Structure 1
């Protein structure tokens, strides 16, 4: 890199750090303070999509918005004076696949149905390995070694997605409901970037366990006077993955535990799989969101929170587990937001949503008798919180939460809730 290039990059990074401070997230916290933040990065696939770059004729490099997000996080982790203690990515890191079907499913006799819609818009491409995966690697290298983090594979991060021959598409494409039942398979691509033996995680004391090469993983981080256990589950986690996760919980009894997975909740709060891609409908060994709740989450009392993406929009629900304690479940996904496309003079279509830089910042305030979590949605592109953005509801409400008032829509992306039974459930584990 030339001296000029290095200088330019330092200015850019300093700008990101400055806007982070302006957003109020650098609170000079550390792992022993009573407050900390978890940064949640929902589906980044449209930023990284190779078709959304200037070289492919797109009006701007959408990947820059992804890099801005990662720079923001890097500038605000505890190790550099901020208050981000943990980072979790909710999957669909990149967009495309490299195979029509993965070898394991071929060996088991699965067959695909022709799907002109998928062939036109999501056909396997070598550019996932030459463009999209390297961009993901570049982004996460910005936070590597600075903060514990997790990445889970979404359906797009699998080696293949195909339409099952037993659930074929309609003869004529009318809307997304007519593309048939899609199945995702193979995690070799994901493991090559985010697997247990990659430099991101190998030898890291906070990376405590993994399954399927790292497609499922467990981390421990210390914040707010507690040791937290985090478990990341692959898309529609199969039975073996849930059995592994149950063993991890038993290995670390009593730790407050957070689960991140890609598909878990619809934007109306229901625990349903998307009707277009339901792995369980094709392969009974995979689990629907409701099955993951029934078989695993509600069966383990130390799990108090679930984070997910996949379904465009936001949702929040609270359910009691088998022990009568609350589990807080939060959906965050902004992949279809396309105001930046409109700003660039391009007409929005079904396929040019970007994300507009929005991510979630979850601040845990642990000092009170009843801890509180404050959820903020912040754009590293517009450098504003959702509540501070006058056009926010006009830009996004009708697509994500039609029928809501402006205020109710703001409340879905900027809200707080009490962890009412947290201190009764968990003893402090870090002093």
Structure 2
């Protein structure tokens, strides 16, 4: 019998009903009474600010002050929470998926492959001065080992997991010189917005660093029966896991993937027909619930032959494949959810969660410790997403919850939650509406007809 983890709580329901399938197959969804009808997927949002070597007490900033906390403890606490609540430990978490940006920094400015194709860095763009372009040996010395240690906690439980790389996990990230920007317009950002025509455009390249930790031959995945396929050395990967009598397929994709990546993903789906399928990728929904990129990280705009937009991915891969029912992403600071119908008239749920800008934990230690712009240092505060699947009733549902392993509380239970985060994330909504963005229910009304149980 599983131990209670407190994962299933009453929530404000925001129901999004799947269109019913016309097929009537009473054998679908049938399972023994002994099968546990509930399980949880842990979704790890962008952890880059927790693993960032500059966000540790050992790091001294330009003003001579040390960072007031070791943000790495939040990362370890998050991974330990998942490990403690894994199904193999008597908990509910059957699978972990990460949406990327595991660490913060790169080791190169421009990788050799992109340099050979004519790309180069503009050292004078505003992005170059913002700190986004920051190659350092501490990536290898501190951030990557830290990430490996955290995921080792999960690996030791034996549960399947997948990791999609983000732009910060690439070997190189640079302000692309071929994209003409005008820094003299910086005073007009308030009017024109954060646009690449002022700031410049970022490009990324290389997955050697990522694959050295999470590649197909890493200790995490080599010879694991649930790790079913990979591409580009493991920057794209597929896993299966069991829950409520079903076998699920997760496909983790690199951000804004190329045509050959999508072709590989299609081959994985073709090899696993009928399995309820999840796509995990770094960049898909923005904070407004639109399939639009961050304007300054728009890879298809500057390298269209090697990248597809979120909308391209949706139209090319998702719409024709009826077994894809859920898409998980990060990258865009905030949270959002939308549901669209695929070509078969069935619903595809798309969920964004990225809490990297949250920095109440820094203020808890030192309320005066602010950035040079007078803003809070984003750390993440240990917030992660828990997607609790419940098949006990005739109509299954997903209960979406948000939990901080640092505060050891769900967002519903933090009375100051809106006070801490609403002004910087969703100032236009009421406190109750803000809470509802991180705690809601999605009905899966056609799931049992759409998919067959084991």
TM-score > 0.5, shorter chain as reference: yes
**Residue range with higher mean Cα deviation, 44-53 or 31-40:** 31-40
Alignment partners' CA distance in 1, 2:156 and 2:406: 25
Q: Note the C-alpha offset of 1:184.
A: 1.3
Q: Runs of 4 or more off by more than 4 Å in structure 1?
A: 172-176
Asked if 1:33 corresponds to 2:44, the answer is no
Q: For residue 289 of structure 1, report the CA deviation from its aligned partner.
A: 0.8
- Which residue of structure 1 aligns with residue 227 of structure 2? 207
Where does 1:350-429 land on structure 2 (aligned, <5 Å)?
A: 352-429=377-454
What is the CA-CA distance between 1:330 and the residue it aligns to? Answer: 0.5
Shift of 1:316: 0.6
Residue 283 of structure 1 and its aligned partner are, at CA, apart by: 0.7
Normalised to the residue count of structure 2, the TM-score between the two structures is: 0.87
| Aligned counterpart in structure 1 of residue 355 of structure 2, from 321, 334, 349 | 334
Deviation, 1:236, is 0.8
Q: Judging changes above 3 Å, is the alpha-carbon distance between structure 1 residues 31 and 298 closer, same or farther for their aligned structure 2 residues?
A: farther
Q: Would you say the 8 A contact 1:31–1:85 is kept in 2?
A: no
* Gap regions ≥5 residues in structure 2: 10-32, 60-65
Q: Name the counterpart of 1:228.
A: 248
2: CA distance between counterparts of 1:68 and 1:143?
12
User: How is 1:69-84 mapped onto 2 (pairs within 5 angstroms)?
Assistant: 69-84=78-93
* Alignment CA distance shift 1:130-1:25 (3 Å): farther
1:304-334 deviation line (CA, Å, top 9, x unaligned): 0000001111101000001101001100000
Tell me which residue corresponds to 2:28: none
**1:23, 1:384 within 8 Å by CA — same for their partners in 2?**
no
> What is the aligned partner in structure 2 of residue 265 from structure 1?
285
> Hey, what does 2:75 align to over in structure 1?
66
Give the CA deviation at 1:394.
1.2
- After superposition, the Cα gap between the structure-2 partners of 1:31 and 1:336, relative to the gap in structure 1 and judged at 3 Å, is farther
Partner of 1:197: 217
Report Cα offsets for 1:99-140 as digits up to 9, x if no partner. 011111011111222235435513211111101001000100
Residue 18 of structure 2: aligned partner: none
In structure 2, the residue matched to 1:50 is 53
Identify if the C-alpha distance between structure 1 residues 179 and 218 changes in structure 2 by more than 3 Å, giving closer, same or farther: same
Contact 2:127 2:200 survives alignment (8 Å): no
Provide the rounded CA distance (Å) in 2 between the counterparts of 1:281 and 1:181. Answer: 9
**1:148–1:221: 8 Å Cα contact kept in structure 2?**
yes
Residue pair 1:44, 1:355 contacting (<8 A) in 2 also: yes
Q: Which residue matches 1:297?
A: 318
Q: CA deviation at 1:253?
A: 0.1
Who is 1:166 aligned against?
178
Partner SS for 1:162: strand
Distance 1:169 1:124, change over 3 A: farther
Q: Which one of 113, 120, 141 corresponds to residue 111 of structure 1?
A: 120
After TM superposition, give the deviation of residue 352 of structure 1 in Å: 2.1
Q: Secondary structure at the match of 1:274?
A: coil
Question: CA separation in 1, counterparts of 2:345 and 2:351?
Answer: 19
Q: Which is bigger in relative contact order (C-alpha 8 A, separation at least 6)?
A: 2
- CA distance in 2: counterparts of 1:51 and 1:219, whole angstroms: 33
* 1:387 alignment partner, SS class: helix
CA distance in 2: counterparts of 1:157 and 1:209, whole angstroms:
20
How many angstroms apart in 2 are the aligned matches of 1:281 and 1:168?
13
Give the distance between the partners of 2:338 and 2:320, measured in 1 at CA: 18
Q: Which runs of 5+ in 1 are unaligned?
A: 1-19
Q: Kindly tell me: are residues 103 and 194 of structure 1, through their superposed partners in 2, closer, same or farther at Cα, counting changes over 3 Å?
A: same
Q: In 2 relative to 1, CA 140–411 (structure 1 residues): closer, same or farther, beyond 3 Å? A: same
Q: Aligned partners of 2:320 and 2:116: how far apart in 1? A: 34
Match of 1:153 in 2: 165
Question: Is the contact between residue 97 and residue 124 of structure 1 (CA under 8 Å) also seen in structure 2?
Answer: yes
Q: CA RMSD in A?
A: 1.8
Structure 1 distance, partners of 2:92, 2:75, is 21
- Partners of 2:294 and 2:162 in 1: CA distance: 23
* Counterpart-to-counterpart distance in 2, 1:93 and 1:78: 24
What corresponds to 1:101 in structure 2? 110
